[in-house]
Every structure is written in C-alpha cells, then in structure tokens.
Chains A and B, each alone.
Chain A
Amino acid sequence: MKRAHNVYKSQKLIRIMLEYDETENTINWITIAGDFFLYPEEALETLEAGLIGTKLEKETLKQEIDNCLKNSEVYGFDSTSLTEAILGCKT
C-alpha cells in the first residue's frame, strides 16, 4: 500500500491524492480536487468510486474515466490529462 499525490496543470489545476497497491498496481483510494467544472457535480464522486480497483495503466485508466464521465460535462480537464495526472503520482 502506498500513498502519493500529484499536482497537474491541465486547462485547470488538478490535485490527485492516491493510495495504491504496489503489487497489484491498482487504485485503493483516490481523491480528485481542483478548480475545474463538472456537471453534474456528483459525477466526481461516481468517478472516484469507479476508479477503485482500476489498474494504474494508461489505456485502462483512460477507458474507465471516459466510461464514468460519459453522461457528464467537464471543463478544465479531459480523460487524457486526468490519466496523466493520476499516473504522475507514481513518478
């Protein structure tokens, strides 16, 4: 179990707090914060819950983010930049 965080500048600033399983390379817990806009707002909690258990791999993560946000509108980041922000926790 490892904790990490990352601050990532996309169109808006994204702050990631992450706890992940180093052996399985999966997300145990994640908080995504920042000055972005997301409609409806509750979609962020759905996204955070949806990412639990997801492999910390580029394509898998991006796919899961796209899936979780498919009924939402985001201003300030996209699935590519959010994936980079999350993976940046490991570097």
Chain B
Amino acid sequence: MVARHKMSTIRFSKIRVLETGYNNAALNMAIDEALIENIGDAPILRIYGWQPAAVSIGYFQSIREEVDLEKCSKIGVDVVRRLTGGGAVLHEIELTYSFITKQYPQNIMESYRWICETIVISIKRLGFDASFVPLNDIVVKGKKVSGSAQTRRKGVLLQHGTLLLGVDVDKMFCVLKVPSEKFKDKIIKDVKERVTSLAGTTFEEMASSLKTSFATKFDAKLLADTMSTEEINHANWLAERKYNSGEWNRRR
C-alpha cells in the first residue's frame, strides 16, 4: 500500500544525484524507465541533455500527426515517445531533469506543485522572476520557460521536465506539424509570444542551482552517484527493444 503524504511532511535524508550527460533520445527515455524500475529508498534527481537534438512526443500523441519524420531524419533529429503525457517538445538548448521518488503527494495537482515549486526556486536563484502555473508549467514574466510531465508506476513517481536555456521556435516548427497549415503562421507567432528561455544561463549554472534547491527543499544530503551496471544494462536493453522500436513510437 502506498503511504499518503501531505506535501509539507515529506523529507529525505539523502537524494541520489545522477548527472548522465548528453545521450540520444531512446537512451534518455530508457534511463528514466530503468531508474523507476531499479529505485532504492533514496529519491533520484537526474540531470541530462540530448545529443543529437530530439523531439519527444507525449504518451498519448500520434507520431505521424505531430512530427515531420522525414524532416527529422534529414536534419538528424531523433524522435521518441515518452512514458508521460503532454505535448511534443523539441529538446535542444536545454537542461532536462527527472525526479524519481517512492514518497510523494498522492494528489496529482499537489505533486506537480511539490516538484515544480522546487524548480521555481532554482530559477529564481539565477535572477529570473519565475512562477508556477498549474498544471505543469513554469513561467517568467508570463512566458513559459519550463514544462514537466509525470507518470506513476508501481508506487514510483517520475516527473521529468525541460528548462529552456535557449529557444528556436522556427526550428521547432520545422520538425513539428501544426494542427492546421492554414493557421501555421499565427500558431508560430503565438508560440513566440508565449515561450522564452533562461537566456544567459549555462547548463552547469542551472544544474548547480537545481541541486541546491532540491537539497534545501527536502532537507536532504546530495549523494553524487553514477548508474549501476544493472541500471545501465537495463537502460541499454530498453533503448534497443522499446524506445527505438516502431511498436512503441508508432503506437497511436
């Protein structure tokens, strides 16, 4: 049975920190799933990037409807389906985080707030006036700089999300399809008005601030760690068999 927690009561003695560097899309999603499957008592804060650039689509999205696969292939952009819902994202100039834990608020809205407010603090520390907009966005001066998504499996919560360090909306719409070609220009203009980045912030600065915020919020010691052999093997297997497969990526 999963224990029920109020947000304020959850503390961790330590948080395992995994900085897994830059990986391709299939391996990035496979690592998240492998960590869910192999998690111990301590929650995990994972920090990572994408190489090459990649489009991830939400669990419920149709890859054919959302992504220009031919264009992605031509310009070397990976494509992968996430374990989590939400929309299609172009991952390029950003820091991506995952927080994986067995203790969390059971209420979904509360659990998003619980993690996103920690992210907000880390952005504020860098001098940006950030705030949380439910369900899953973080904005600076009304413009989105971060989006997150969650899944819960076997009593484990995974929330992963992006922190935009740069944004190229034109490239985004070069690889993402729009619901209506007729209104494509307007859609791009709207996104340019609604999305911004934490420009001037480096990956390392963002990572450092994120770690400090999680340690402070949960009164936890940070344990810098690497993935175990078992976790690496599991992730490689999932990358090859699941996240690189048409069966998974073209499921809808």
- Interface residues, chain A, with chain B CB atoms under 8 Å away: 7, 9, 12-13, 15, 31-41, 44, 73, 75
Contact = CB atoms under 8 A, between A and B. Distances in A.
A4 B84 CA distance: 27
Interface of B: 58-62, 65, 84-88, 108, 135-136, 149-152, 179-180, 252
A75 B135 contact: yes
Contact of A35 (B61, B151, B152): B61
A35 B65 contact: no
A88 to B, nearest CB: 13
Contact of A34 (B61, B108, B136): B61
Given A12-B87, A37-B150, A44-B60, 15 more contacts: A7-B179, A15-B65, A31-B62, A31-B252, A33-B62, A34-B60, A35-B61, A35-B87, A36-B60, A36-B85, A37-B84, A37-B85, A37-B86, A39-B108, A75-B135
Nearest to B59: A41
Contacts of A38: 60, 85
Contact of B65 (A32, A33, A44, A75): A33
A69 to B, nearest CB: 13
A32 B180 CA distance: 18
A38 to B, nearest CB: 6
Contacts of A34: 58, 60-61
B222 to A, nearest CB: 29
A13 B87 CA distance: 9
